[in-house]
Every structure is written in C-alpha cells, then in structure tokens.
C-alpha cells in the first residue's frame, strides 16, 4: 500500500491497516496524549490516543519531516 492509498482510507480502515500490517516502533507520551509510531510499507503512521477519552482520536501518516523529530533521539530509522 502506498501513502496515497492509505490516506484515501476511512478512519476505521486506517486503524485496521496499522494494527494488521504496521510494525510498532516507539511511543511519545505527554500528560494528555500518547502517540504511537508505526512503520507501514514505506511510510510512517502515528496513532494519537486521547487518555481522557481512552481512544484513538487521530491518524497521521507521513514519510519524513518534523513529525519524526520527537522520536529521533532514541530510534534508528535507517
């Protein structure tokens, strides 16, 4: 699946694709939010969890960029 194909999926289908085919890489936790980073084919996906609601509230997909900065200090993404 390409990034473009993934982006065209409905929210629930994105979640299923990540859970079924993604490789968990890391998480980033703040007081209110937890972000889990996955690798899926040749791009990355963040699942954003709201701890108050106890559910995934957003799915972000990307190849490179500032989205990786919070993980880069302790991940080898080569």
Lowest mean pLDDT among 5-14, 39-48, 69-78: 69-78
Q: What's the structural domain count of the chain?
A: 1
Does a structural domain hold residue 66? yes
Domain ranges, residue 39: 3-72
Does a structural domain hold residue 18? yes
Does a structural domain hold residue 77? no
User: Within 10 A of 43 (CB to CB), how many other CB atoms are there?
Assistant: 17
pLDDT in tens, 11-69: 999 999 999 999 999 888 877 789 999 999 999 999 999 888 889 999 999 988 777 77
13: helix, strand or coil: helix
What distance in Å separates the CA atoms of residue 15 and residue 38, rounded to the nearest whole number?
Answer: 11
pLDDT of residue 73: 65
Does a structural domain hold residue 21? yes
Of residues 7 and 74, more confidence is placed in: 7
Q: Note the residue count of the chain.
A: 78
């Amino acid at each position: 699946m390409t990034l473009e194909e993934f982006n065209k999926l409905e929210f629930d289908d994105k979640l299923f694709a990540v859970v079924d085919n993604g490789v968990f890489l890391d998480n980033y936790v703040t007081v209110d939010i937890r972000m889990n980073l996955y690798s899926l084919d040749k791009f990355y996906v963040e699942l954003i969890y709201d701890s108050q609601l106890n559910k995934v509230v957003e799915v972000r997909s990307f190849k490179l960029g500032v989205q990786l900065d919070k993980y880069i200090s302790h991940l080898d993404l080569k």
